[in-house]
Structures are given as structure tokens and as C-alpha cells.
Homo-oligomer: A and B are copies of this chain.
Amino acid sequence: MSDPVDSRSSLSDAPTPEPASGHKLTRRGFFAGLGMTGAASVLAACSSADDSAASAGNAGADSGASIRKIDFDGPHQAGIQEDSQTHALVVAFDLKRDGLPSGGLKQNLTRLMRIWTGDARSMTQGKTALADLEHELTVAPQNLTITVGWGPKLIEEVGLLGDAPSWVKKNLDGLPKFKGDKLNDDFGAADVVLQICGDDLTAVSHAARVLTRGGRDYATPKWTQRGFVDSPTGETPRNLLGFKDGTAIPRKEEEYNEFIWDDQGGSAMVVRRIVFDMPAWEQLDRKSREVVFGRHVDTGAPIGGNDEFDPVDLNKAGDDGLPLIDERSHVGITAGEGTHIRRRAYNWDNEVTPLGNSGLIFICFQNDPDKAFTPLQKRLAEKDRLNKWITHVGSAVFWVLPGTQHGAYWGQKILEG
């Protein structure tokens, strides 16, 4: 085996690129999970000889290095609209309340937001957080995003219901319970959530440690959920049932404005933990699996279609005159509503066991869950054939604060308003 030092140093000499001009519009996240990571840096070496090569993957926008960043500041928080990174670490916290004087909770929430915003702004941009001595672990954020949300109960408790979207006060006790839910508190409501996503798990892990440590006087971790998605051949990532997951999502700016962002530029984050019954699922043949999903396994196309992005037509019938897509299939129920929520689902697995121990962290964003996730999930809970193989065990909802600009901290306008 030859010594890899030479090629190593040729990479490490690459300069740090400027951050993208607006995190909403960058497509670098899309390439991140797709094995396109290093393309940009190598392309830089050959694009002068053949500029057209750079257009092969739109990688020209990302020239110069293997260090990748997503802007922190903007009208909306990062970590929603960008294409999913390969790793997600979602940590829910409860605020400390013992011995606090009146008004103390709001004051502590303010302190926590100040600390976390500063550290998140630094780490996502490849800089060192306050009091962090391991700055080598933040040099390459690799599309690190850190997204914060507040739970409805906390918003009420600190007297800010009037400043939050109206869905918050209608969901003080969390989302409604749906048919078949087997929820446990382990993955339930909490005061604050951090969604930490990135393509480099070391950076994600370090960020979680820095934020937990930085906030330790005010907040204690309540639950942790980890997930991963991969897209080695550049297609939509697959879940652990083998199907593409995330075909129908909003992709246009107008769709985000209409369905995802609320009036203040925030959003509602739903986190559902779903467990798969793998032994039962594995007994289904592929055809049955396709009936359940309403899509083909290989292409992801609606049944009877050829391409993943073919429109879903529930009226299309086969030679026998029967509808090709079963009305109780997953797609049969969700058709047409894919752009109303920004799915950001992640696979999870755990301790390897004989029966399997895996599933999906279904994360979605929308401007009003009462109009998006909740009615849709109600229909799914009643009818979806897939319910036989999946169980929802965790449910939480948070108001994702508007984005930050000009050095502000998360929620500043609301907390100081």
C-alpha cells in the first residue's frame, strides 16, 4: 500500500470557500449526500481546460475546496429548505425551573438563545464556538445546520402565545393523538428542540456536545434521535423498507412561501418517531410492497408509471379496469399534498436484534400543522395499508423561530418585543 500522504496534503491545502450568498438558494446540500462531495475541488483543477465539465453537476458554484458551509443567517432558519444532509441529530431539551423567580424562565430562555445562536452561527460557518478548545472539529462544517424550535407549552409559560402563530395555542398539549399511535414520553413534548444536521458526523456530534455544554445552566437534554439518509447514486434516498422517501416535496420558492414559512418566516416542525415491523414486512413480496406504497420499488414511479416524478393519477386504470393505485395505499392517501409539507425524514436503527430495531424519524415542516400534517396524518392513521407494518411511538411539535439577521439571536424580536 503506497503512502497516501501526498494526496492528503493536496486536499488539505485547498482554501476555504466563501459562504454561499443565500442559504435558501444553495444547491450544495443536494450534492452533499450524493457522492458529489469532492467533485468541486477536483473540478477546479481541470475546469480551465474544459469549462463545460463544471456544468456536469452544477459543482462550479462550489469551487475551491472540500469544506462546505450553509449560511446561518437569513429570513428563515437553515436546515429546512436545503436538501437533506446525510446525518441528523435531533435533541429535545427541557428548561430548568427549580428555584426560578417569576419571570426567570423567560430570562433564562433568552440567555439560552443568546448562547446557542452565537455558537451555532460560529460552528456552522467553520468557526469556533465560545469556550470550545477543539476548534479543529469545527473547521469543516460540511453543511452543518442547527435549527431551533420552542414547544407550545413553553411558549405559553413564558407568556408569548400572542407572538406565536395561532396553531401554537391550539396545540398546547401537542398534536392530537391519532389512531394506532403508541406514544411514549421518551420522544414526546419538550421545551426546546435542536435539529443538528450535516454530512460529517464528527462535526454534528461535536456541535451537539458544545451546545449541550454551553446551555447546561439553563437546559437539560430530554431525548435524542439520530438518523441518516444516503443517496450514493444521486437518486432520492431510500428508507429501510427499500422505498424512495422524499419524492414529493416542495422545490419552488413559491411553494415554500405558500406552505412552509409562516408570517414571521418561521415554521412548524413535527417530529414523529416510527418503528418498523421488519420481520412482517420482510414476508411481503415486492408486488405486495408496491401495492402498499402505491409506487414501484425500483424507480419510485407511481404504479403504472415509469419515472419517479410522474404525476400521481389515482384515476388511471389497468387493463382490468381497476385503479392502478390502491386508494388505501400510502400514495393513494397522500397524493397531491406532498408539496404542502417539507418532509425531512431520516432513517434510524439501533442495537441489532433478531426482530430488527429500526424505522423512520419523520420530520416535517409547514406553516400550520392543523392544515398540513394533522389532517393528512389523520387520514393515514385511519386508512393507510402501511399501518400494518409501522407504529408511531413518538410525537412532538415545535415552533421553529424565524431566521436571524444582522447579529440577532434566535427569537430576539419576540423575547424583547
Residues of A within 8 A of B (CB): 1-5, 7-12, 14, 24-25, 27, 30-31, 34-39, 41-43, 45-47, 49-50, 53, 56-59, 66-67, 81, 83, 86, 89, 91, 133-134, 136-137, 139-140, 142, 200-203, 205-206, 208-209, 212-213, 216, 220-221, 223-224, 228-230, 232-238, 240-242, 251-253, 256, 278-279, 282, 284-286, 289, 297-298, 309, 347, 349-354, 356, 358
Q: Which residues of B contact A235 (CB under 8 A)?
A: 8, 12
Listed A/B pairs (9) with beta-carbon separation below 8 Å: A7-B30, A7-B57, A7-B58, A38-B39, A42-B56, A45-B50, A45-B53, A206-B240, A212-B356
Known: A1-B27, A7-B57, A42-B42. A352 touches B91 (CB 8 A): yes
Known: A205-B358, A234-B11, A352-B91. A41 touches B38 (CB 8 A): no
How many copies of the chain does the oligomer comprise? 2
Asked if B24 and A83 sit within 8 Å, CB to CB, the answer is no
Most buried by B among A8, A38, A56: A38
Given B42, B278, B298, which contacts A36 in the complex, CB threshold below 8 Å? B42
Asked if B354 and A14 sit within 8 Å, CB to CB, the answer is no
Q: Which residues of B contact A206 (CB under 8 A)?
A: 240
Looking at the assembled complex, report how far the CB atom of A125 sits from the nearest CB atom of chain B, in whole angstroms.
14
Asked if A352 and B59 sit within 8 Å, CB to CB, the answer is no
Asked if B238 and A358 sit within 8 Å, CB to CB, the answer is no
Q: Which residues of B contact A234 (CB under 8 A)?
A: 7-12, 66
Closest residue of chain B to A141 (Cβ to Cβ) is B232
Asked if B216 and A201 sit within 8 Å, CB to CB, the answer is no
Q: In the complex, what distance in Å separates the CA atom of A67 from the CA atom of B354?
A: 30
Asked if B228 and A282 sit within 8 Å, CB to CB, the answer is no
Known: A27-B4, A133-B282, A233-B140. A46 touches B36 (CB 8 A): no
Q: In the complex, what distance in Å separates the CA atom of A38 from the CA atom of B58?
A: 13
Looking at the assembled complex, report how far the CB atom of A196 sits from the nearest CB atom of chain B, in whole angstroms.
10
Most buried by B among A1, A4, A216: A1
Q: In the complex, what distance in Å separates the CA atom of A306 from the CA atom of B27?
A: 38
Looking at the assembled complex, report how far the CB atom of A190 sits from the nearest CB atom of chain B, in whole angstroms.
12
Looking at the assembled complex, report how far the CB atom of A328 sits from the nearest CB atom of chain B, in whole angstroms.
22
Known: A36-B37, A203-B230. A42 touches B24 (CB 8 A): no
Asked if B57 and A11 sit within 8 Å, CB to CB, the answer is yes
Asked if B202 and A237 sit within 8 Å, CB to CB, the answer is yes
Q: In the complex, what distance in Å separates the CA atom of A36 from the CA atom of B356?
A: 33
Query: Which 7 A-B residue pairs are closest in the complex by CB-CB distance?
Result: A11-B234, A140-B232, A134-B242, A46-B53, A49-B50, A35-B66, A36-B38
Asked if B53 and A230 sit within 8 Å, CB to CB, the answer is no
Looking at the assembled complex, report how far the CB atom of A135 sits from the nearest CB atom of chain B, in whole angstroms.
8
Closest residue of chain B to A219 (Cβ to Cβ) is B354
Q: Which residues of B contact A34 (CB under 8 A)?
A: 8, 11, 38, 66
Q: In the complex, what distance in Å separates the CA atom of A233 from the CA atom of B64?
A: 12
Known contacts A8-B34, A133-B284; 19 further A-B pairs (Cβ under 8 A): A1-B25, A1-B252, A2-B27, A3-B251, A7-B58, A35-B37, A35-B41, A43-B43, A45-B50, A45-B53, A67-B233, A136-B238, A136-B297, A202-B229, A208-B352, A212-B356, A213-B282, A224-B351, A224-B352
Asked if A38 and B31 sit within 8 Å, CB to CB, the answer is yes
Q: In the complex, what distance in Å separates the CA atom of A170 from the CA atom of B358?
A: 39
Looking at the assembled complex, report how far the CB atom of A145 sits from the nearest CB atom of chain B, in whole angstroms.
15
Looking at the assembled complex, report how far the CB atom of A47 sits from the nearest CB atom of chain B, in whole angstroms.
7
Asked if B66 and A233 sit within 8 Å, CB to CB, the answer is yes
Q: Which residues of B contact A224 (CB under 8 A)?
A: 350-352
Looking at the assembled complex, report how far the CB atom of A143 sits from the nearest CB atom of chain B, in whole angstroms.
10
